[in-house]
């Protein structure tokens, strides 16, 4: 756009698009009423248009896709199937444990303790009649935390009995609820039978241990399998009867 000149002072800084101002240029400016022509604008040339896909291109792409998908069967169901996480291991319910243990302790004080027993070459179990089946199932599944263990490998019957009596007494007085006893499978015993396995069932269900034992069963493979036993002990209750421990045993000597 032309710039309008209103006085002679405007000529001082005047610059034409071509460079220096000459007298002839001034005369032309005066004839045009003092307007200075502006530099013409250069229009940019439009660039090449992007190529648009043609129907033929789309058809070729679809054909390639369907050829690649031949023989592929759709997955049954809608969307990806995500398996839910396994439920957490059940915990021993304190209320159920309290009720069952109190009832069974009263039976123990009255001397009316009876066990349901099962013994085979590969499995052993026993539990006090009246024990909550849910608690026994937790013991069998190995979901109750083991708080101590006793390994009887290499011991004869007398040594094993003394060691078991001491271990069970100390575990009971310490308030442990679940312990692991390992008599072994008896592969090196005469006839390949574990004498200790049969003896332990008898020891656990007779005095004095029957007053502190609620249940026992063959352990899970991760804890020794058929060569080990989970044993569930009662809660210690000083106000409800006392266990008649063998007074002829040297408990202090066993401890040393």
pLDDT digits (tens, 9 = 90+) for 151-167: 998 888 999 999 999 99
35-36 and 3-4 strand pairing: antiparallel
| CA distance readout (Å), 38 to 4, 15, 18, 235 | 11, 10, 11, 106
**pLDDT value of position 198:** 82
**Higher per-residue pLDDT: 254 or 43:** 43
Report domain extents, the chain.
3-36, 94-255
Q: In terms of pTM, does the model score above 0.85?
A: no
* Length of the chain in terms of residues written: 256
Each residue of 205-244: b (16+ CB within 10 Å) or e? Answer: beebbbbbbbbbbbbeeebbebbbbbbbbbeeeeeeeebe
DSSP 125: E
Q: Quick check: 233 pLDDT over 80? A: yes
What confidence score (pLDDT) does residue 6 get? 57
pLDDT of residue 119: 84
- Percent of the chain surpassing pLDDT 70: 46
Q: pLDDT value at position 154?
A: 86
| CATH 3.40.640.10, domain 94-255, yes or no | no
How big is the chain by its Cα radius of gyration, in Å? 48
Q: Choose from 63-67, 79-83, 101-105, 142-146 the range with maximum mean pLDDT.
A: 142-146
Pair 189, 121: CB distance under 8 Å: no
Q: If you average pLDDT over residues 221-231, what whole number do you get?
A: 95
């Amino acid at each position: 756009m032309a710039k309008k000149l209103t006085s002679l002072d405007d000529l001082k800084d005047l610059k034409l698009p071509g460079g220096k101002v000459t007298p002839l240029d001034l005369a032309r400016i005066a004839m045009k009423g003092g307007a200075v022509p502006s530099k013409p604008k250069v229009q940019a040339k439009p660039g090449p248009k992007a190529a648009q896909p043609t129907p033929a291109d789309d058809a070729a792409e679809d054909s390639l896709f369907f050829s690649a998908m031949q023989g592929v069967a759709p997955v049954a169901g809608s969307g990806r199937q995500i398996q839910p996480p396994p439920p957490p291991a059940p915990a021993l319910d304190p209320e159920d444990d309290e009720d069952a243990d109190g009832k069974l302790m009263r039976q123990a004080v009255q001397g009316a303790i009876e066990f349901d027993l099962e013994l085979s070459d590969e499995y052993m179990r026993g539990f006090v009649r009246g024990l909550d089946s849910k608690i026994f199932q937790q013991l069998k599944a190995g979901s109750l935390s083991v708080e101590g263990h006793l390994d009887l490998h290499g011991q004869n019957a007398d040594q094993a009995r003394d060691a078991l009596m001491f271990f069970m007494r100390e575990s009971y007085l310490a308030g442990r609820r679940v312990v692991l006893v390992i008599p072994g499978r008896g592969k090196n015993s005469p006839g390949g039978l574990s004498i200790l396995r049969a003896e332990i069932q008898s020891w656990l269900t007779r005095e004095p241990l029957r007053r502190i034992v609620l249940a026992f069963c063959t352990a899970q493979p991760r804890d020794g399998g058929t060569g080990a036993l989970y044993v569930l002990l009662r809660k210690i209750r000083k106000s409800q009867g006392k266990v008649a421990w063998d007074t002829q045993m040297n408990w202090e000597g066993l401890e040393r």
